[in-house]
Amino acid sequence: MGAEQGGCAGRAAGYTLVELLVVVAIVAALMVMAAPFVTRILQDNRLITQINLLHGTLQFARTEAIKRGTSITVCATSNGAICGGNWQEGWLILADAVILRAMPKLTGNTTLAFTLTAGGASDRIVYNARGFSPDHAGTFRLCDSRGAGSAKGLITATTGRPLPATDLTGNGAVEDDTGNDLTCP
């Protein structure tokens, strides 16, 4: 009576090898089914993080222009030291040729491009002392390998205020500042 406590005599408690292999096979199958979903979530989060970084940069530059009472330039850079290059390689915030902030190259095989609808060069945005960017209205397009359906956009108005691009037509694609769907390279 003392040797048997709630089980069969002579049999060890636990799981058999077959039971363990069945559980491992089920877990592996669930992981295979979940992998594309998790990948999509990671890609979406990367794009959201990167467009928010750009949005914050533009808001900072606009605020600094107003606070300092001088022009502030946000420009694309290929080397982190001078203006010139592609936006996905990084960007600078400059006040009178002094670097206030240098943002690094984007990660995750994303592309960032700025298309002007009014104004000057597409490799920079200049905020005047009142926080306006009268010569740099346009749209930033942030894309990854999934194309325009997953793209994020940031609209810069001549008032200087950066605004997230949204899907106003309900077709699943965000629109630029002219109302056209964003396109990706």
CATH number at residue 43: 3.55.40.10
Q: What is the pLDDT of residue 10?
A: 62
Q: Kindly tell me if the per-residue pLDDT of 100 is higher than 90.
A: yes
Query: Does residue 128 belong to any structural domain of this protein?
Result: yes
Is it the case that residue 95 has pLDDT exceeding 70?
Answer: yes
pLDDT value at residue 19: 87
What confidence tier does 64 reach under pLDDT thresholds 50, 70, 90? very high
pLDDT band at 5 (very low <50, low <70, confident <90, very high): low
- Which amino acid, residue 105? K
Regarding beta strands 91-95 and 98-103, do their DSSP bridges make them parallel or antiparallel, or are they unpaired?
A: antiparallel
Residues 27-40: pLDDT tens digits?
A: 888 888 877 888 88
Count structural domains, the chain: 1
Span 120-147, average pLDDT: 90
pLDDT for res 1? 47
Q: What tokens were used for 46?
A: 């990367």
Its domain, for residue 109, covers 17-164
Burial of 1 (0-12, 13-18, 19+ CB in 10 A): exposed
The whole-number pLDDT of residue 6 equals 54
Summarize the chain as % helix, strand, coil (round to 5). 30, 25, 40
In a domain, 149, yes or no: yes
